[in-house]
Structures are given as C-alpha cells and as structure tokens.
Amino acid sequence: MMNVVLQFNMLTDTIDRLQAKRAHIDITFKYFIEKMAPVSGLKSMLDYDCVFSANLARGEHLDFMFGITVPFTSLCPCSKEISQYGAHNQRGIMRVKIKQHNGKFIWIEDLAKMMEDQGSCQVYSLLKRGDEKYVTEKAYENPKFVEDVLRDLVLMLRKVDGVQWFEIECENYESIHNHSAYAAHTERVDS
C-alpha cells in the first residue's frame, strides 16, 4: 500500500511543479516469491514481472492499476486425446492487470498463487526427479488449452473482492507448432 501512497505523492508533486493538469507513472519491477518444490520440498525463488501504473488529474482521485506476469505449464487436451501415450506440454505466461475500488487491494503473492492454480501445473525454479514426475503427471491430469486457462482466470478474477476492472492475456509458447497460442479478455466488473 505504501507504493500507492508514494505514487500519489510523486504524481501530486509532478502536477504542482510542472503546473500540469495530469500526471502518469509506470513502475516496472521483478518481484521474487519463494516457492517449494512439490515433492522434495526444496525452496527456490521464482521471479515475476510486475507493474504499478497510476494516473492523477488535478483535483481527482488516484487511478491505480497493477499487473503481474505469471509463468505456467499447460498440456494440450487434443494431444492427450489422440495419442496412445503422452501428450505435448508447453510453457506459457499469463498477464493480469487489475484495478480495484479505492480501499481494496490484493497482495502480489495471493494474486500470483490464484493465477498459477489456473494452468495445468505451476512452474518451479528448482525440481528434483520426483518433482518433475509430479509436475508432468499433474499437467497430464489437468489438460488445458490457452482458452481454458483464460476462461478460468476470468471466473477467478470475478470473485476477487473489490475488483473494478481487469485485463488478461494468456500465451502458450507451443512446443510442436511454429506459432504461439494466444487469448485475451478485458472486463469491467460491477461490484
């Protein structure tokens, strides 16, 4: 929450010093979250790209949005259905930008966890063989197209308290195709 106050002060100072009608700021940063491997319990840090974005017009309330990019694994449902054994996986990313009503906020760690739960499986920085088996099998039991991941993100974000608006992008870096699969959605939530 301190970052919102800091951005508000920076924008107010900018408007006053430059005698401007409005000011805008984007702060992009890496945020590290400690994750534990699912079987071995080994701990490692995973980095997430984040952005805080704010607009302020003279005499108005701060317009604040934050975003996070989360990696995930997906397994192709079609590949699983047509193959006698195995299925192709891909690593993907989901980008969420969220705006909440004044006085409401969600922690970066909480949003990252909720997002990770929407893929076929999470991505980890450090895995032993038992962990790799777990990740592979979990993805196999939870196949999802990029559109499935997007739909599940939309449904999840509609339940987050105080959400005013969100924008989602999901992209799978296809492992057997020479293209990526992409899906996007923007929504204003009535709450």
pLDDT of residue 191: 53
Tens of pLDDT, residues 12-38: 888 889 889 999 999 999 999 999 999
Tens of pLDDT, residues 150-178: 999 999 999 999 999 999 999 999 878 88
Q: Flag whether pLDDT at 76 surpasses 60.
A: yes
Q: Alpha-carbon Rg of the chain, whole angstroms?
A: 19
Rounded distance between C-alpha atoms, residue 94 and residue 146, angstroms: 9
**How many residues does the structure list for the chain?**
191
The answer to whether 170 and 134 are in contact (CB under 8 A) is: no
**CA 187-72-38 angle, 5° bins:** 130
Could you tell me whether strands 22-36 and 121-122 are parallel, antiparallel, or unpaired per DSSP bridges?
A: unpaired
Rounded distance between C-alpha atoms, residue 143 and residue 170, angstroms: 15
Domain annotation for the chain: domains and CATH numbers: 2-188 (3.10.270.10)
Q: What is the pTM of this model?
A: 0.88
DSSP for 19-72 reads T-SEEEEEEEEEEEEEEE-TTT--EEEEEEEEEEEEEEETTS--EEEEEEEEEE
